[in-house]
Structure formats: structure tokens, C-alpha cells
Amino acid sequence: MTIAETFLGLLEPAPRHGYDLRREYETSFGERRSIKPAQVYATLGRLCRDGAIHVVSVEQVGGPERTTYALTPDGVTRLEKWFAEPEGHSPYLQSAVFTKVILALRSGRPADHVLRAQRMAHTAAMQDLVRRKSGADLATVLSCDFTIFHLEADLRWLEHTAARLDRLAEELP
């Protein structure tokens, strides 16, 4: 999920202040990826520069300036394109853990420790997600399920790799 396109989607229904965008982002998506205030305003600046959004107004009422942003027609086009394009596969875990396993085997370190530690971390994360689903709204449940299903696939890969460590060690240069 890209922050820029997420902001475009949050701005589509109505113009909003940067503060309101951050709050809505954190409420809807912050569980998976939190965002810092500096990221919000840097992203809004890039979106303005690229013509995807524009400044509607700037107000100052007893505090910092509040700039209201709105989607432009180019922003709507960019958002529609983003919705239409499928996301690519991201082997985030495999590449990092695989690298650790290979390097551990090459150095004579116990690669099974790498896999065991990752398995324990994934299992703990899954247990936490299952707890968070209890009594949660449907959006939270589905978000947790998405992550749980990915963690389950990673666990299968960890087990698959653990069963083949001896053979892998033999094949390494």
C-alpha cells in the first residue's frame, strides 16, 4: 500500500486537512503501517507538485495553519489507475530469512536457529492478531486475517526449508 495513493483515496469523498488525513489513515490503516506527521506533509507536498491534489484553503484558528487539500481530475485518474493495477508479489520474508540461512550455513553457524527464531516470532505475531480479532469490527478482522494468512505461508516455507537444511548445506560452495 502506498501512502500517496491511500491519501488520494481518503481525499476522494471530500477535501481534508493534513491532520484529518493522518488521523483517518491511522484509524483505518495504521495498524499495518503507521505514519509520521512529516511523512504526511511530505507526501501531500509531492501530490500537490505532481498535480494530483490542490490546496483549497489555509486557515489559522488558535494554532498552527491548517491547509485543506482536495483531489484534482489528475488525482482521480491516478487513483483509478492504482485501483486497476494488481500489486506485485513481494517476497519480503523469503529474501531476508533466506539470506540469513545461506550466510549462517556458509559460516558454519546453526541455520536452524535462524529458522526457529523466525518461527517463534511469527507464531507470537499470529497469536496477537488472533487476540485482536476477538470482538473487533469486520475491517479489523479482515486486516488481521490478511496478515495471518501471510504468516501461515511464511511458516510453511520455514518448515519446508528446515527439512532441507542438510541438503542445502551440502550444495553450497
Cα–Cα distance measured from residue 168 to residue 54, given in angstroms and rounded to the nearest whole number: 55
CA dihedral 157, 2, 84, 154 (to 10 degrees): 10
- What pLDDT score does 45 carry? 96
- Provide the pLDDT confidence category of residue 93 given band limits of 50, 70 and 90: low
Mean pLDDT of the chain: 87
* Phi (first) and psi of residue 59, to 5 degrees: -125, 155
Is pTM, for the whole model, over 0.75?
Answer: no
- What pLDDT score does 31 carry? 65
The pLDDT > 70 percentage for the chain reads 91
- What pLDDT score does 85 carry? 77
For 111-125, how does the pLDDT look when each residue is reduced to its tens digit (9 = 90+)?
898 899 999 999 999
Mean pLDDT across 157-172: 92
Cα–Cα distance measured from residue 47 to residue 34, given in angstroms and rounded to the nearest whole number: 19
List the beta bridge partners of residue 83. none
Mean pLDDT across 81-101: 70
Judge contact between 40 and 21, C-beta under 8 A. Answer: yes
